[in-house]
Structure 1
Amino acid sequence: MTARLPAALEVPFFARPAEQVAPDLVGCLLVHREGPEAPRWGVIVETEAYAQSEPACHGHRRRSPANETLFAEPGRFYVYLTYGVHHCVNLVTDRSDWASGVLLRAVALPGGPEREAAGPGLLARCFGIDRRHDGRIAAPPGGLWLAHRPAEVTALLERQQARGEDPLCQTQRIGISQGQELPWRWYLRASRSVSRRAGGDRTPRRDELATALASTVGSFAGSRMP
């Protein structure tokens, strides 16, 4: 029997402040499916939160055609081009008419190179996401969505907590010139696919996430829609 991917995240999940949604997205799945082929999926291992109340947010100063999606209802993708080269993938959060979103900074690809999607631009390229996906609802019918944490990831987090460890590192955002003091970046300590670790946090010798997901590579390979 073909395995089924975890259920897709629905609008109520995203209808919260970005700084609440961002850490909860770590460990969830990013899934892209086009046509009848098996979906491409990976585990989100790093996120950043942005809100209209702080200067690093695109909607902080004004609403414009370029950032209009960020003011939409929660649960949509906000995709923009940075430096004219790299696409960045965000999920709109909180509420309509209030700029708020979570940037997906890195994804771990089970069975693939550990650094293939370790950064916003690499992530977008790896999943084939660009401006065509801007404003699209994050749901299976649209071919691009987010899904709940697989049981293997939840078990990994629970094991770390049982050892007295914090599975997530909360630290400052990177690649911005304003609002650096806000600790609104989160990443999965056990993963070697994080774009950049906080000072003093060493990359683990063994990727516990990759080990935990080894059994899912085959089981999800021909997965049906959730």
Structure 2
Amino acid sequence: MSLLTKDFFSRPSHLVAPSLIGCFLIKRLPKNSFLSGVIVETEAYSQEEASCHGFSGRTKRNETLFGEPGNFYIYISYGINSCINIVTGRKNWANGVLLRSIAIKGENERIASGPGLLAKRFGLNRNFDNLPLSPANDFWLTEGEDLTRMGNIVQTTRIGISQAKDIPWRWYLQSSRSVSKRVKGDRIPPKNKCWSPSTFEGL
């Protein structure tokens, strides 16, 4: 499985976000074991639209979002939940992808279904803000699942925002039962017909 490098993230968020579906987020654990999960839902944000944290300019809170592509941008939502983003695009232009849901083989299908649950399962919080994604830093991303096996990717509008709500910059794997919220009329697939995640097997 190929490591996702800075070049991969040095593209606009609305191009990176759908291409992250099927990729693995990996955390190195003690004794060289791993926690890994497959990304099944993402959202894109960019400085030119009002829902982006960088829309009104650079601040101490959003500084990381203007930084290096391929780093974590982690913020606290409603004073409670950590939200995990990957900085994308170019330096000095606020651009990033929110990781909304991850499926983990052998675990409850809803354990990382939604930004707060995802952050909790992977032990991520503001202490990891601006961390470059790299095996040297114990968190990284790799290419993963074969999309032809996984099925359709749904493109729709983002959720939980009050501005720029009509921009269709959310993507999710239709065959996954770990998606946080589906579009109206899209039913959760039955267990005998849904896609199942694989396990990370090393670089």
Indicate the TM-score class for this superposition, using the shorter chain for normalisation: over 0.9
The match for 1:184 is: 169
Task: Please give the secondary structure, in 1, of the residue aligned with 2:14.
Answer: helix
Amino acid at match of 1:67: N
The match for 2:107 is: 112
For the pair 1:146 / 2:144, whether they are aligned, the reply is no
The aligned runs of 1:63-82 (5 Å cut-off) are 63-82=58-77
Structure (1 or 2) with the larger CA radius of gyration: 1
The aligned runs of 1:30-109 (5 Å cut-off) are 30-109=25-104
- Distance in 1, matches of 2:29 and 2:58, equals 32
Deviation at 1:155, TM superposition (A): 4.4
For the pair 1:156 / 2:156, whether they are aligned, the reply is no
Q: Structure 1: where are the runs of 5+ without partners?
A: 1-5, 161-166
- Distance in 1, matches of 2:99 and 2:72, equals 11
Deviation at 1:84, TM superposition (A): 1.1
Larger helix proportion of the pair: 1
Q: Structure 2: where are the runs of 5+ without partners?
A: none
Q: TM-score, normalised by structure 2?
A: 0.95
Q: Deviations over 1:176-223 (max 9, x none)?
A: 00010000000000100000001111111135321xx4xx44xx4xx5
- 8 Å Cα contact 2:153/2:174 also seen in 1: yes
RMSD: 1.3
For the pair 1:171 / 2:166, whether they are aligned, the reply is no
Q: Which of 164, 168, 178 does residue 193 from structure 1 map onto?
A: 178
Amino acid at match of 1:26: I
Deviation at 1:73, TM superposition (A): 1.6
- Distance in 2, matches of 1:155 and 1:197, equals 21
Deviation at 1:19, TM superposition (A): 0.3
| Number of equivalent positions | 202
Deviation at 1:103, TM superposition (A): 0.1
Q: Deviations over 1:88-134 (max 9, x none)?
A: 00000000000000000000011110000000000000000111111
- Distance in 2, matches of 1:36 and 1:155, equals 34
Q: TM-score, normalised by structure 1?
A: 0.86
Larger strand proportion of the pair: 2
The aligned runs of 1:194-213 (5 Å cut-off) are 194-206=179-191, 208-210=194-196, 213=197
- Percent of pairs with identical residues: 48
